[in-house]
Amino acid sequence: MEFPKDLKYTKEHEWVKVEGSIATVGITDYAQDSLGDVVYVELPQEGGSVTKNEPFGVVESVKAVSDLYSPLSGSVHEVNDSIIDSPEVINEDPYGDAWMIKIEINSPDDLEDLLNSEEYAKFIEEEK
């Protein structure tokens, strides 16, 4: 299982890549592996807002339905519509083509609560 070092992570199993004031968000390799084959994704509309630690969408697999939690507060800058039509990409490339939304960050302070790759890996081990 991989946890790229250039990303930040949440305890709800989302990853975050920050570039300037934009944060790209997706679910981790661990999350997609735990869910199994992803069959459906529901994401917010561009231009809407998301709130830190609040659900912004849903991912459904053959095993379960799970809420997606926003790691940051801000406005939805972009939505990856391609994974709505092809949700299986989440299982194939969780850190690449399967990004979910891009958020215009309201408060950089929100980033302080995120885990680095080592902290996230340790969290996963403790959760098992």
pLDDT in tens, 63-119: 999 999 999 999 999 999 999 999 999 999 999 999 999 999 999 999 999 999 999
Query: 52-56, 105-109, 124-128: which range is least confident on average?
Result: 124-128
Q: Quote the pLDDT of residue 119.
A: 98
This prediction has a pTM of 0.95
Interatomic CA distance for residues 97 and 94, integer angstroms = 7
β-strand partners of 102:
24, 78
Q: Quote the pLDDT of residue 112.
A: 94
Judged against a pLDDT cut of 90, whether residue 1 lies above it is answered with no
Contacts of 84 (CB under 8 A, 6+ apart): 41, 42, 43
Q: Which two tokens stand for residue 96?
A: 């690449």
The CATH-assigned architecture of domain 8-110 is Beta Barrel (2.40)
Tell me the residue type at 11: K
Interatomic CA distance for residues 76 and 89, integer angstroms = 21
Collapsing DSSP to helix, strand or coil, 18 comes out as strand
Q: What percent of the chain has pLDDT over 70?
A: 100
Give the mean model confidence (pLDDT) for residues 26-46.
96
| Other Cβ atoms closer than 10 A to 81 | 11
Token look-up 């098992």 returns 128
